[in-house]
Copies of this chain bind each other. A is one copy, B any other.
């Protein structure tokens, strides 16, 4: 598989790259960013996956995430995929909504027309892209972890819960923890997966835990001033599920923080250090 370099910039002694490739999962070209920290030749590095939220591309966290300083210090590769397929022939939301279609793939493999052909972000992020990255970057596939924001927090937690042996750590900023029970999630899951809610459960962190999925522990930060807190995020549902399943959850409500990258960037270094401690172990 060929990789096309969109851009590379030296940063914190390493290389922040943006790349494009043809995805078999989505049937489109996909763009992603990779930061490779300074490292000795021939060394394989641990890798942190970051999944973005609604409306984002790879660019939001790449420009505003403030992760390179810590990744350079700790020697970790940081990967940011896009949030949906894009392109002329990719169907979007007929109403041009920000919360469905382009920029809102929700990390599922759609089964409903007209989305089933391209909206296969689960297969892309959890299977195709990790394999592709391993072919082109110096990653140690035995040392991977995952985090995400909002819709991407949902993606990170569900992918971790379904691959507990692959990811050594999972954390989230303001995640959607129970999409089956909140407006964003109900719209997305019904649109991509249809109205049979049984198919939703494997894309819902709370439902996955109820159904027996387990993970070593989670770190979750949520801003107490997040405007989506009570209607869309509902962290108390994850707290209850983790408590019942004996999954350690460090849920921190950060006073006066909102849903933006000003919040994410503030706690990014802490999350990365938490991941690093588990990736080096």
Contacts and interface: CB of A to CB of B under 8 A. Distances in A.
A16 B262 contact: yes
A243 interface: no
Number of copies: 2
A12 B223 CA distance: 12
A269 B262 CA distance: 17
Given A262-B10, A266-B12, A63 B63 contact: yes
A250 interface: no
A13 B258 CA distance: 12
Nearest to A267: B12
Interface in A250-267: 256-258, 260-263, 265-266
Interface in A221-235: 223, 225
A64 interface: yes
Contact of A260 (B9, B225, B256): B9
Nearest to A259: B9
Prevailing SS type, chain A contact patch = mixed
A118 to B, nearest CB: 30
Contacts of A263: 9-11
A226 to B, nearest CB: 11
A10 B225 contact: yes
30 contacts: A9-B258, A9-B260, A9-B262, A9-B263, A10-B223, A10-B225, A10-B256, A10-B257, A10-B258, A10-B262, A10-B263, A10-B266, A11-B262, A11-B263, A11-B265, A11-B266, A12-B266, A13-B266, A16-B262, A63-B63, A63-B64, A63-B261, A64-B64, A66-B66, A66-B69, A66-B265, A68-B262, A68-B265, A68-B266, A69-B69
Interface of A: 9-13, 16, 63-64, 66, 68-69, 223, 225, 256-258, 260-263, 265-266, 269
